[in-house]
Chains A and B, each alone.
Chain A
Amino acid sequence: MKNEFQVIADLIEKDKKVLDVGCADGTLMKFLKDNKNINIRGLEISKEKVQECIAKGLTVIEGNAEKDLKQFPDKSFDYVVLSQTLQAFLNPELVLDELLRVGKKAIVTIPNFGYWKVRFHLLFKGTMPITKTLPDEWYNTPNLHMCTIKDFFHFVKSKDIKIFKSLALNNLNSSIISESNLGVKNLFADLGIFLIEK
């Protein structure tokens, strides 16, 4: 399991109810279910991935987060997880609002467009950056709204969303992001992980 999922799992206490939005093949869900006795649900748009989840014995709803989150009642999950998908929605702000409505807390991770390798790539190669967390070409990327850790940090603050914890991830190392080290983390982390609440 990738390090990002381990960090997310560490943020969630045992026996909670969790919705994994864009749960893909259910790797994180399975880990949470088996190791933390989490009552876990998934929402996934890909039919193939939904089948993989069913084969793992996971409860998954085939659907689209932009349309299908509205069927869940307010605060019906302790945590709602959205891993590296926010930038792929037509309207990320709306999805973020929905995550925070449905979940008592939300865990959102974003691939950091401020990561030095991304900046380097664009600066010296002059082509759209391709990295481990941004593997696609400009013409086939699902990402519509790339942002940096700094962008997301400011965005969340401007919406009066409470940040409980924000972590910068670089390979295997995670570290706390704060107002004072934001510039540095924005340069050296390829992934930001935010535990938020509204």
Chain B
Amino acid sequence: MNIEKNIKTLIVKKPLKLDCGKTIKDFPIAYETYGSLNSKKDNAILVFHALTGDQFVTGINPVTNKEGWWSYAVGPDKAIDTNKYFVICSNVIGGCMGSYGPSHKDPDQKIFGTNFPVITINDMVNAQYNLLDHFGIDKLFSITGGSMGGMQVLQFISNFPDKSKTVIPIATTSSHSAQNIAFNELGRQAIAADNNWKDGNYTSNDTNPGKGLAVARMAAHITYLSKKGLQEKFGRKLQEREDLKFGFDADFQIESYLRYQGSVFVDRFDANSYLYITRAMDYFDLAKQFNGNLSEAFINTKAKFFIISFTSDWLYPTQENKDIVIALNSIGADVGFVEIKSDKGHDSFLLDVPDFLNALKNFLDKSYEEN
């Protein structure tokens, strides 16, 4: 894939000290924007993407030629209305859509691979903070994102407590659970088991560990859906055949669907980035940064929080979202919370779930009116 064209990049000159101890500087952050920044510069929303997302939030992604990952939520007259708000999203560092990551070259012009420093959610948001200076924005109107995007939301407002008026973490957690880590490890081991991985030293598209990455994606994809959702969509339906074939082809539609999801993912994602980003998620434990007291993470912010979870999300279940609500309430923060009824699992935040989109729109628009 040609990722050079159509990608806007900010080169961050300022050195950034990473949690691992290393310092990076003169590194690129790839970003995209939607809508326009008003003269008061008070209508900017910073959107953070999830594990496999990128800066192309909505419209047609110019690299993949597919719809942006949050097209249901972001766009003209949508929940995050780009007629009204200026939406900024950047590719996380460690990613593979133009921001500094393992597929970039080190100062000796050698591709980093697994020599790229291990990055954290904290490093990601510290890097993205540079976008505020770039656009001359003193205070964002909102920050939002689901899943790993929600983790970045929480880390961002903790690091920069007066830099956003409203804060919307969606389907997320303040600390990656053992189950979350387990699923990520499964994905990483699938990649490592592919002979083409070569400890991360693969170079061209032809020799990349596509099979391992596809298996990682298939396993992860199951965690994004609910049992009920899968059953209703696929059940035991057969794939273009009348009966079982007594072999190991994809007899069932669900098998074929997962194989397809795996194969299209490989075309757009880098295996080493998958390792780095899942690692960052696993290391995320916001309470631990504050000696086990999550409330302390938010003690300095006056921002208005709105937390959203989904009934059928078993990857980042309602209780983990509610733990954030509880931490905020215990310090008297301004926090609203709603659990949206949906059968679509963790992926609900990416899909056409009207109750979710209405709540998001109403919260944003009403908060903006009070601005």
Contacts and interface: CB of A to CB of B under 8 A. Distances in A.
Interface residues of A, number: 18
A73 B336 contact: no
A71 B355 contact: no
B295 to A, nearest CB: 10
B135 to A, nearest CB: 27
A89 B85 CA distance: 43
Contacts of A135: none
B300 interface: no
Interface string A51-62: 100111111111
B38 interface: no
A54 B338 contact: yes
A60 B325 CA distance: 11
Nearest to B355: A51
A59 B358 contact: no
- Residues of B contacting A: mostly: mixed
B304 A59 contact: yes
A128 to B, nearest CB: 32
A71 B336 contact: no
Nearest to A17: B332
Contacts of B329: 61, 71-73
Secondary structure at chain A's binding surface: helix, strand, loop or mixed?
mixed
A28 interface: no
Contacts of A3: none
A41, A57, A73, most chain B CB atoms within 10 A: A57
Contact of A51 (B334, B358, B367): B358
A59 B339 contact: no
A47 B330 CA distance: 23
B369 A59 contact: no
A54 B337 contact: no
A54 B363 CA distance: 6
B368 to A, nearest CB: 10
B341 A47 contact: yes
B332 A55 contact: no
A72 B339 CA distance: 19
A62 B338 contact: yes
Given A51-B355, A54-B363, A71-B326, A59 B332 contact: no
A114 B194 CA distance: 76
B220 to A, nearest CB: 28
Interface string A31-68: 00000000001000001001100111111111100000
A51 B363 CA distance: 10
Contacts of A59: 304, 334-336
A60 B308 CA distance: 12
A61 B366 contact: no
B359 interface: yes
Contact of A55 (B330, B331, B335, B362): B362
Given A59-B304, A61-B325, A71-B325, A54 B336 contact: yes
Contacts of B367: 57
Contacts of A71: 325-326, 329-330
Interface in B133-180: none
B108 interface: no
B369 A57 contact: yes
B4 interface: no
A76 interface: yes
Contacts of B334: 41, 59
Nearest to B328: A71
Interface of A: 41, 47, 50-51, 54-63, 71-73, 76
Interface of B: 304, 325-326, 329-332, 334-341, 355, 358-359, 362-363, 366-367, 369-370
21 contacts: A47-B338, A47-B341, A50-B338, A54-B336, A54-B338, A54-B362, A54-B363, A55-B362, A55-B366, A56-B366, A57-B362, A57-B369, A57-B370, A59-B304, A59-B335, A60-B336, A60-B338, A61-B335, A62-B337, A62-B338, A63-B337
